[in-house]
Amino acid sequence: MNRITKTALVVAAFFSASSFAGYEVQIDDSSKLTFGGYFKADLRNVSGDQAYRDYWIGTSTSAPDTNQTSLQAKESRFNVKFTHGEVTGFLEYDFFGGGGNALVSNSYTPRMRHAFISYKNWKVGQTWSTFMPLASIAEALDFGGAHVGQVFIRQTQIRYTNGGLELALENPANATDANQSIPDAVARYTYKGDFGQVAVAALARTFDDNGVAGHADGTQLAYSISGKINTFGKDDFRFAYNAGAAGRYISPGHNAGDKVNADGSGDLLATQAYTVAYRHFWTDDLRSTVYYGHSEVEDFNGVSADSDRNHYGVNLIQQLTKQLSVGVEFGNYDADISATDTADSDYVQLSAKYVL
């Protein structure tokens, strides 16, 4: 088949394929392209004493008397997967890369989310950390739901999978000292059955303070227990408990700087965080999720002055077609802004989402 004919067939298949399953193009007997992603538009209002954010993470910024509304479509994303025999390459990006000008063009910069190669039991490249319990994340209109209680990391890694066992070496980045030689190590085991799934994971990070006092040093350990349990009908309960000397891995933005204890040991501040969520189907096309996330970093605001974050939300999502849904979500985010003060904001978000 000549190149022009093949290209014409690819274009025709792209525009005629079922959008719910993604657009799949069979190139030859052993190769295919799959296009996927979704379009999402959000209207969001934040009111209170926490500064406006497009979505809540583990940071805390005091902004008294905030009352801000924004309409944006930055969560929209596109991905492409190329499969040739047992080899798969996957690339995905969204538009949370910064830039843009809400006064004129809103031309936000694409941001790479995933870029990896899979071959048999191996995966190499950038994707979700093996330490991250994906199945436990609540279905939320706020981008990612209760980040405050979650492990939330995307980074380059080398991962081996055999059944429910996953072992990985991952990028050892830290905010205080880039001169690190030992990759972060992760082990995860997931057990699946008719009931749903449960998983346990362990993380080991090995730091070198390079002789700088107050920087992380030595091996730091953390763990995660998570699951998604089927309950009644199509309903499910999701949970995760994450704890230990994880630093940047747990509650993104909370201890992103990998702060250490004041005792000179070089140990990371201890973090404990959890999320719980229940999803209920009122009908086949109407569903709700109520969720809550909490994190606490010990001594973050000084000795015996811990730092807390909390986020809860409840939503109602109507599936208009297989591909198109609309929804509304209400919630609250509160966080310590110092050793003695806290601030919180309520939010309401309306969303429309079309899945390819």
- Per-residue pLDDT of 205-225, as tens digits, reads 999 888 888 888 999 999 999
What is residue 176's predicted lDDT score, i.e. its pLDDT?
73
Please compute the mean of the pLDDT values over residues 169-178 and round it to a whole number: 85
Residue 100 has pLDDT above 80, yes or no: no
- Rounded Cα distance between 3 and 301, Å, is 63
Residue 202 has pLDDT above 90, yes or no: yes
Residue 11: phi, psi to the nearest 5? -65, -45
What is residue 1's predicted lDDT score, i.e. its pLDDT?
45
What is residue 103's predicted lDDT score, i.e. its pLDDT?
84
pLDDT confidence tier of residue 262, bands split at 50, 70 and 90: confident
Residue type, 270: A
Tens digits of per-residue pLDDT, 33-60?
999 999 999 999 999 999 999 999 998 8
Residues 6+ apart with CB under 8 A from 28: none
- Rounded Cα distance between 190 and 305, Å, is 36
What is residue 135's predicted lDDT score, i.e. its pLDDT?
95
Beta bridge mates, 78: 37, 93
The token pair that represents 249 in the structure block: 């891995």
DSSP state of 270: P
pLDDT above 70 covers a percentage of the chain that reads 94
Residues 6+ apart with CB under 8 A from 346: 46, 47, 48, 330, 331, 332
Higher per-residue pLDDT: 96 or 159 = 159
Please compute the mean of the pLDDT values over residues 183-198 and round it to a whole number: 97
> Quick one: which H or E segment has residue 4?
helix 3-16
Query: Do the Cβ atoms of 118 and 90 come closer than 8 Å?
Result: yes
The 3-state DSSP class for residue 154 equals: strand
- Residue (of 274, 266, 215, 264) closest to 243 by Cα position: 274
The position carrying tokens 């699951």 is 227
